[in-house]
Amino acid sequence: MTEVHNLGVDAISCHAWNKDRKEVAICPNNNEIQIHKRTTNGWKLLQNLQAHDMHVMDIDWAPNTNRIVTCSADKNAYVWTQEEDGKWNPTWVVLRINRAATCVKWSPLENKFAVGSGGRVIAVCYFVSVNNWWQCKHIKRPLRSTVTAVDWHPDNKVLVAGSTDYKVRVFSAYISDMGNTPGNGPWGRSNSLGKLLAEFQNSPNGGGWIHSVAFSPCGNKICWVAHNSSICVADATKGNAVTRLYTEHLPFLSCVWMGPNYIIAAGHSCMPMLYSVDDNGQLYFVSKLDNTQKKEAAGLSAMRKFQSLDRQARTDPNDNALDSIHQNTINYVCKVSDNEFSTSGLDGQLVVWDLKLLENSIAGLKIA
C-alpha distances in Å from residue 334, one per residue of 15, 139, 176, 291:
8, 26, 31, 20
* CA atoms within 13 A of residue 50's CA, in its CB half-sphere: 2
What residue type is assigned to position 331 of the chain?
A: N
> If residue 341 lies in a helix (H) or strand (E), which one and from where to where?
strand 340-345
- d(CA 87, CA 46) in angstroms, rounded, equals 9
Look at residue 308 and tell me whether its pLDDT is greater than 90: no
Q: Is residue 280 within 8 Å of residue 263, measured between CB atoms? A: no
Mean pLDDT of 47-75: 97
Terminal CA-CA length for the chain: 18
Of the ranges 69-83, 120-134, 172-186, 318-332, the best mean pLDDT one? 69-83
β-bridge mates for residue 233, sequence order: 223, 243
**87-120 pLDDT, tens per residue?**
999 999 999 999 999 999 999 999 999 999 999 9
C-alpha distances in Å from residue 276, one per residue of 87, 102, 240:
42, 29, 18
Q: Is residue 120 within 8 Å of residue 100, measured between CB atoms? A: no
Please give the DSSP secondary-structure letter assigned to residue 181.
P
**358-367 pLDDT, tens per residue?**
666 665 566 6
pTM: 0.89
- d(CA 42, CA 204) in angstroms, rounded, equals 49
Going by pLDDT thresholds of 50, 70 and 90, the confidence category of residue 173 is very high
Q: Is residue 298 within 8 Å of residue 284, measured between CB atoms? A: no
Q: Cis ω on the peptide bond leading into residue 142 (within 30° of 0)?
A: yes
Can you spell out the DSSP letters for 11-50? Answer: --SEEEE-TTSSEEEEE-SSS-EEEEEEETTEEEEEEEE-
Look at residue 291 and tell me whether its pLDDT is greater than 90: no
